Structure 1
Amino acid sequence: MSESAYPTPRAEAPLVVFDFDHTLYDGDSGGHLVKWLIQRNPLRILAALAASVVLGPMVAYLPTRRRGISGYIWIGTFGLHGRRGFDALIDQYVATHREEVQQRLLPQALEVFREHRANGDRVVVATGAPPELARAILSFVAHEDVPVIGTAVGPRFGAVVATRHCHNEEKMRMLRERGYGDVAVAYSDSSADLPLLKAAHAPVVVNPKPARVAMFRRVLPPGTPILNWGCKERGGASVG
């Protein structure tokens, strides 16, 4: 079904929220982008290696994750002075990695995505990646018109940094601010999305880390589906 063939969702249609990384996309799309930004220049690589002593643990720890990610983005974008330039770099990255990026889109996930759109549901993508990145990747499969809520960036100290990380409770706040309150169905792989999954009437865990499966079974309603949509190193029941 082409993009124009999807029905326009009614205001009262069920709201369906998809995470992006490890849900629609096999991997960390934002991490792949930042890696490319840094690898454009040997000096950026050296700076990132030196800074990883501090930034690495910050990224791994939820309360400091936004600052850690911002540090790597700052290194990768030093000399850039605004979001427009950052979005242009994202488009360049996606265009020059088209085949690799397309191969990471998960066919089973996209089929569920299409079914919700064909049913007239209000489909939204909420991701920790920059929204322009998710939109550019979704354009390969004619879904660029789907609303995307993602991590906001802005200029800081001669570069670009994450100013608001679309993650954990903040993801829920950003959804509500955009008028997406009552979530019918939510799809995510991440324990960081527990606020989203718990808020949904019908949570669905997809492609979780194997070590997190027991936790999801414990904290989410009995019978919550825990599925694998094609991420080979992830857990969940295989579909199809």
Structure 2
Amino acid sequence: MPGPYPTPAADAPVVVFDFDHTLYDGDSGSHLFAWLIRRSWLRTAAALLVTPLLGPMVAWLPTRRRGISGYVWIATVGLRRRRDLDDLIDRYVERNRPQMEGRLLDAALEIFTAHRAAGDRVVVATGAPPELARAILSFVAHQDVPVIGTVVGPKFGAVIARRHCHHEEKMRMLREQGYGQVAVAYSDSSADLPLLLAAARPVVVNPKVDKVEAFRRLLPAGTPILNWGCTSRAGSPVT
């Protein structure tokens, strides 16, 4: 990757990237917590036992946070500090680097790099733990980009989400960090409609096939709907 990049001016355009299915082909947080659950047969059995309850909760937006928190509790029960989870994230990234590096989307990284080279204020806003996104971005020398993600901490004998960077909460967290006026936003997810609607120029990338019509209906006419390399997703291919 080219660099170093210019230091953005305080009034430079704010450009927000989602991470999963936008820069990264897949759900990085789910992959991490699945790995954590598979650390032991007891965690795996517990996850299978509660999936009939938690699975539908994750699939439905109003209950998604609670459903994800249930799986995260199973994955991290016994941990006492956020640092304990960070250590496991480091171990996970080290052991799975080739697969994770291969999931970074080349077309997405070209756009990401172009915004940085132009001096824009680039920020990643993700539902994954920010330490995980930073570690993956370090593979391509973008570890210095600000990352806003789900805040985790000790609770109920585990390390679970204390503040989920998701839907309206993602916008609140961006504003708290000084990213109130968004010039461009890139995301695949209908959960990011508050972010896309707040952006002067929304760009939908790698959406689910069944969400395309909703994006066309709810976002301004002419909003680009692109595919940056997720073969299972919709959007016009990048040339």
Q: Same fold (TM over 0.5)?
A: yes
Aligned-partner residue type, residue 236 of structure 2: A
**Is 1:195 aligned to 2:194, yes or no?**
yes
**Is 1:158 aligned to 2:131, yes or no?**
no
Q: CA deviation at 1:192?
A: 0.5
Provide the aligned length of Structure 1 versus Structure 2. 239
1:148 is matched with: 147
CA contact (8 A) 1:58 1:64 kept: yes
- CA displacement 1:61-117 (0-9 Å, x = unmatched): 222211111111111111101111101111111110000000000000000000000
CA contact (8 A) 1:15 1:122 kept: yes
In structure 2, list runs of 5 or more residues that go unmatched: none
Aligned-partner residue type, residue 145 of structure 2: V
CA distance in 1, matches of 2:153, 2:51: 22
CA distance in 1, matches of 2:81, 2:220: 43
CA distance in 1, matches of 2:75, 2:130: 18
Root-mean-square deviation (Å) = 0.8
1:17 is matched with: 16
In structure 1, list runs of 5 or more residues that go unmatched: none
SS at 1:46's partner residue?
Answer: helix
1:171 is matched with: 170
Query: Normalising by the residue count of structure 2, what TM-score does the alignment of the two structures yield?
Result: 0.98
**Is 1:44 aligned to 2:43, yes or no?**
yes
Aligned-partner residue type, residue 137 of structure 1: I
Aligned-partner residue type, residue 233 of structure 1: S
- CA displacement 1:198-240 (0-9 Å, x = unmatched): 0000000000011111111111111111000000010000011
Pick which of 24-33 and 149-158 moved more: 149-158
2:209 is matched with: 210
Pick which of 76-85 and 117-126 moved more: 76-85
- CA displacement 1:138-193 (0-9 Å, x = unmatched): 00000010000001111112111111110100100010011110000000000010
SS at 1:76's partner residue?
Answer: helix
CA contact (8 A) 1:172 1:196 kept: yes
Query: Normalising by the residue count of structure 1, what TM-score does the alignment of the two structures yield?
Result: 0.98
Q: CA deviation at 1:53?
A: 2.1
